[in-house]
Amino acid sequence: MSPVEALRSALDALRANVLRSALTMLGIIIGVTAVIVMVAVGSGARAKVMQQIQSLGSNLIIVVSGSMTSGGVRMGVGSRWSLSEEDGAALARDVPSIQVAVGTVRGSAQIVAGNTNWSTVVLGVGPGYLEARDWELAAGRDFTAQEFSGAGKVILLGETVVKNLFGEGVDPVGQIIRVRATPFTVTGVLARKGQNTQGQDQDDVVVVPVATAKQKVLGSSRANARAVAAMLVKVRDGEDMADAERQMREVLRQRHRLTAAQDDDFWIRNLTEVANTQLESSKALALLLAAVAGVSLLVGGIGIMNIMLVSVTERTREIGLRLAVGARRRDILSQFLIEATTLAAIGGAIGVVLGVGGSIIVAELGGWPTLINPEVVLAAVGFSALIGVFFGFYPAQRASHLDPIEALRHE
């Protein structure tokens, strides 16, 4: 029997029991659908995490000022500004792997433009902040060196602030706005960043020179006028982040005159480590989802084997007749094996359609990011066909080894 004849015979047998064939394929359909949807959801989650991490800036290390003790009570991180702008300059000078180190301060204020106002985050930053954050400008320009050093009343606006103060289609560059009654000239608009890994809107922010923030906006009364709350440190591409962190700690401890017995008066947060942890978590989630879907495929394969065994029993006389008129055992084996593989392949194809459609529905209705990988789709279909071969082999072999005489006597 040629492969074409065997395939035709297999399809005829499946058409003879359409309902049973459909129920048999149900496990494969559910399994393939689950594999595609779950892997798409897991891949989309990883892509979303990567997008949020990249929005913070690549190769970024954050140094935060330490805590202070008041009345025997230890305050939180950043309650004492133990860092200074000079610390940033020393890091950039003494640690070769550092590309730029920027001091920052942070607060909140009411922003007023004409008759409209908006409460937002105010960031005071030093030179190189946009470079450290990999943040482009959608319009306008960055601050000049003179504006940084002279506490210039200039400001960069985030996209969310622009929309709430000026509305759509309005260019705010060059306009005058007020921050806590102090007039500022808008020099540029920051490109959209979106949400960070904590779900905070990074575009709901305004940026001013750090000296301006401390003197005219936040009203800092720190003893050290050059103190900053935190520093953003960008490490050069290809450099070892862990080694850079170690050298940074050594430089800062030496500058702060800390003895070996004293704890650090600052905190270092390596965003690359945070990113790797989150990516590993999302990968583990994707593998878990894929494993659950794989169990569905396994159950579907067992269902195929059971139905094929039933089919062998029902068609024992037919098998005996074929063997009696000269059919070879391998012809019987290939016929039943093709039936099982065809069942699995058709179920896999239906599962692909439902899986792709389900992924699109999840993305549209649930607002959850999904990413359909063509390789996963092909792998799911191929795996379903292999399941048909694997679980169909035993029933097919059993059919091919029936004794023709005993098979013809079967009722």
**What is the full DSSP assignment across 253-270?**
HHHTT--TTSPPSEEEEE
Task: Provide the mean pLDDT of the chain.
Answer: 79
Given a contact cutoff of 8 angstroms between Cβ atoms, the answer to whether 36 and 301 are in contact is: no
Confidence label for 216 from pLDDT (cuts 50, 70 and 90):
confident
**Token output for 157:** 């606006």
The 3-class secondary structure across 300-365, one letter per residue, is HHHHHHHHHHHHHHHCHHHHHHHHHCCCCHHHHHHHHHHHHHHHHHHHHHHHHHHHHHHHHHHHHH
Summarised one tens digit per residue, pLDDT across range 109-153 is 999 998 899 999 999 999 999 988 888 999 999 999 999 989 899
Q: How many CB atoms lie within 10 A of CB 23?
A: 12
- The pLDDT assigned to 386 comes to 77
Lowest-pLDDT choice from 2-16, 64-78, 121-135, 188-202? 64-78
Confidence label for 71 from pLDDT (cuts 50, 70 and 90):
very low
* E-only strand ranges, 175-253: 176-179, 182-190, 205-209, 227-228, 230-235
- Alpha carbon distance 94, 357 (integer Å): 56
Given a contact cutoff of 8 angstroms between Cβ atoms, the answer to whether 214 and 225 are in contact is: yes
| Model confidence pTM above 0.85 | no
- The pLDDT assigned to 40 comes to 81
Lowest-pLDDT choice from 86-100, 251-265, 292-306? 292-306
Report the Cα–Cα distance between both ends of the chain, in Å, rounded: 26
Instruction: Determine the Cα angle at 325 with ends 319 and 331, to 5°.
Output: 55
- The pLDDT assigned to 67 comes to 59
- The pLDDT assigned to 19 comes to 77
Summarize the confidence of residues 32-60 as an average pLDDT.
Answer: 71
Residue 238 predicted with pLDDT over 50: yes
Residue 250 predicted with pLDDT over 80: yes
Q: Who has greater pLDDT, 206 or 312?
A: 206
Given a contact cutoff of 8 angstroms between Cβ atoms, the answer to whether 57 and 269 are in contact is: no
Of residues 36, 77, 112, 3, the one with CA closest to residue 286: 36
Given a contact cutoff of 8 angstroms between Cβ atoms, the answer to whether 258 and 264 are in contact is: yes
- Reported residue count of the chain is 411
Summarize the confidence of residues 288-294 as an average pLDDT.
Answer: 70
Summarised one tens digit per residue, pLDDT across range 7-35 is 676 677 677 777 777 777 787 788 788 87
Report percent pLDDT > 70 for the chain: 73
By DSSP bridging, strand 230-235 and strand 98-113 are: antiparallel
